[in-house]
Each structure stands twice: as structure tokens, then as C-alpha cells.
């Protein structure tokens, strides 16, 4: 793949990430923000009466411009990175076209980058978590994410090496099984973090975590669909349509 195509795919990946970010923004605003507001209300109702922090950025600005900026910038950034990963993966993970490769890459990235760490260290709303342990919790989360990504890459490599001997199906099953076993061991040995207050509404916590999962799923699925179409049109352009009049006037 030459540098011009890589550059064009990078631009298309960032555009696809922006489009996926718009879809994720809709999900975050209508599904996530009401739960954030409820969690903030719970936190304020349990704060000491004399405790009042100065609000540097209004809640209205956070839930609109701030939310949009964060998600769209994230979408553009991860879209560019995913496009570069697509350039490397195309033709190396099987006989898949650009659309299928983009969807496969998006699904694998969603699982490895978000879903696996999320199941061990799920997202928490405001009022959940000790401020004194935020550094430890962040470190554990990123450790789980890096481990998940490295194991996913290792599973792909092992699957490709086993394919000539076991066949594609059994090699894939063996690679996925190995990935799940090692991830299970990581879940067992890494420390568990549970700082949810005993009186925090379980339904609110469940809705918040589901909305966080839905946001990421929308982001990755939207990127896979949009970028797959853009990459397909770049790599396999459709032949230009011949006008009917020109076809009729052409010599026989």
C-alpha cells in the first residue's frame, strides 16, 4: 500500500471518526446525561450542608459544548489511529475486503480496548469512587486495557500460525479460547475495585453503565460502517458510468 493511499485512508478515518462521534454524541446526550444529572443530584443531597464547591464550568456547558468537544475530538483521534491499523490489517487477517476488514477491526477493537477493561473496571457515575484512589484506579484500568490489546494481537498471531495445521475454524476457536483463558486469569489476579456507596441506587448505576457501553458501541460500530464504505470506494473505485447518448453514438 503506497503512501498516497495511506494518507487518504488516514483522512477518511478521521472523517469517519467525526461522523461516528456525532452518532455517539446523540447517545451520550439522550441516554447518558440524564443519569449523570441524577448521580450529581444524589451526590449533592448527601454532601454536608456547609460544603459548597465553586463551579468553574456550569453544568449546562459541561453537558452541551463540553460533551460535544470531548466526544468529537476523541472520535477524530481514534479514527485516525484505527485507519492506520486498518492499513496494516488489510490483507493480513484473511481474505476480507475493505468493508469487512473495517467492521472486523472495529469489533475487535471495541472488545479489546473497551469491553474487556469495562467488565473488570466498569465506568462509574459521579458520587461513586474515592478521590484519594483515582490514580490507582486509573492505573489498573489502563493496565487492563494494555493487557487486553496485547493479548488480542497475540491471539491473531497464534491463530494465523495454527491455521495451516488446524484449519481456519479450529485455529480461530483455539486463539479465542486462549485469549479468554488469559483474560480470565487477569480478572482473577488483578485487584477488584468496589467503591459504590451502599445507598447508591442500583438502577441508576446500571443505567449509567449501560449508557456508557452503548456510547462506545455506537462509536465503534458507526466508525466501522462509515470508514468501511469510504475505504471501499477509495481502494476499489466504481467505474465511471457511460452516458446513454455517448454509448449510442459510439461506433459499432
Task: Categorize the per-residue pLDDT at 50 as very low, low, confident or very high, splitting at 50, 70 and 90.
Answer: very low
Query: How many alpha carbons lie under 13 Å from residue 31 in its C-beta half-sphere?
Result: 19
**Structure confidence by residue, pLDDT tens digits, 102-122:** 999 999 999 999 999 999 999
Task: Categorize the per-residue pLDDT at 187 as very low, low, confident or very high, splitting at 50, 70 and 90.
Answer: very high
The pLDDT score that the predictor gives to residue 240 is 58
Amino acid at each position: 500500500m503506497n503512501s498516497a493511499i495511506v494518507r487518504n485512508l488516514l483522512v477518511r478515518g478521521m472523517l469517519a471518526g467525526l461522523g461516528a462521534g456525532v452518532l455517539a454524541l446523540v447517545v451520550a446526550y439522550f441516554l447518558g446525561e440524564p443519569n449523570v444529572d441524577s448521580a450529581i443530584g444524589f451526590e449533592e443531597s448527601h454532601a454536608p450542608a456547609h460544603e459548597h464547591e465553586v463551579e468553574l464550568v456550569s453544568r449546562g456547558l459541561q453537558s452541551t459544548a463540553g460533551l460535544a468537544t470531548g466526544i468529537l475530538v476523541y472520535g477524530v483521534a481514534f479514527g485516525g489511529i484505527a485507519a492506520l491499523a486498518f492499513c496494516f490489517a488489510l490483507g493480513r487477517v484473511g481474505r476480507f475486503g475493505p468493508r469487512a476488514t473495517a467492521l472486523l477491526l472495529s469489533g475487535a477493537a471495541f472488545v479489546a480496548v473497551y469491553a474487556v477493561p469495562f467488565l473488570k473496571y466498569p465506568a462509574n457515575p459521579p458520587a461513586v469512587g474515592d478521590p484519594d484512589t483515582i490514580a490507582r484506579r486509573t492505573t489498573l484500568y489502563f493496565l487492563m486495557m494494555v493487557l487486553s490489546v496485547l493479548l488480542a494481537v497475540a491471539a491473531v498471531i497464534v491463530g494465523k500460525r495454527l491455521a495451516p495445521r488446524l484449519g481456519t475454524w479450529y485455529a480461530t476457536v483455539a486463539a479465542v479460547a486462549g485469549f479468554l483463558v488469559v483474560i480470565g486469569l487477569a480478572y482473577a489476579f488483578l485487584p477488584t475495585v468496589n467503591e459504590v456507596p451502599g445507598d447508591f441506587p442500583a438502577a441508576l448505576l446500571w443505567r449509567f453503565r449501560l449508557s456508557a457501553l452503548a456510547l462506545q458501541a455506537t462509536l465503534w460500530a458507526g466508525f466501522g460502517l462509515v470508514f468501511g464504505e469510504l475505504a471501499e470506494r477509495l481502494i476499489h473505485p466504481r467505474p465511471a458510468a457511460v452516458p446513454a447518448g455517448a454509448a449510442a453514438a459510439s461506433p459499432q
